[in-house]
Structure 1
Amino acid sequence: WHRERRDASTEIERVFRGHLGRQKAEHERDKYLFSRSQSSGIELGRQMLAEHKLHATRLQSEIALLVQEKKALECRVDELLEEISQFEEGVKTLEVEMHQLSKAERDNA
């Protein structure tokens, strides 16, 4: 009777330890899979960060070129406005001279 009881308790202990071992192994496997997914997630994050930095650098270069173009165009617009202003002054001078000539012609006639 004692041997059967000892054998039965040994069997229960063996089954229970096997159950605990499987639980521990499953937990370790889950931790490993989680750490792998985390590291691949970190790599993906690093890759995305590098792509965003590259994109930001490209955008900054394009903005710098656009600013240069804008400055050049503003200078050209200022030059053209100055030229228009000079033409307008010339037209006003000619109008005054024509008005004086027509007045002089009327006075002489």
Structure 2
Amino acid sequence: MPELKLEIQMLHDRLLVQLTQEEGERRSGGGIVIPATAQMARRLVWGDVLGAGTHVRNVKVGERVLFNPEDPLEVEVQGRTYLVMRERDVHATASERSEHGTGLYL
């Protein structure tokens, strides 16, 4: 049986996000290597928005969003894991260019 390709449309204020792949080890601003197994305080993570519901107002598909990884729900689609969350759970967005010209650039 051939594999079906389904289009996923997010509803209401929901976002479909894929976690940004980060390296296991990180470096602090001072150059200290922090291993992936190190216990840290609750840490926010970045993800890429792949889908947005019709009532999402401030986040667009293709932007990166900053959120708490303990809040969203996981879903598996064709062997890949994605996160589903509400727009209100997003703390910040990062896109190619901002119309307002304020904020930080990654």
Structure number with greater CO (CA < 8 Å, separation at least 6) is 2
| Structure whose residues are more often helix by fraction | 1
Q: What is the TM-score of this pair, normalised by structure 1? A: 0.13
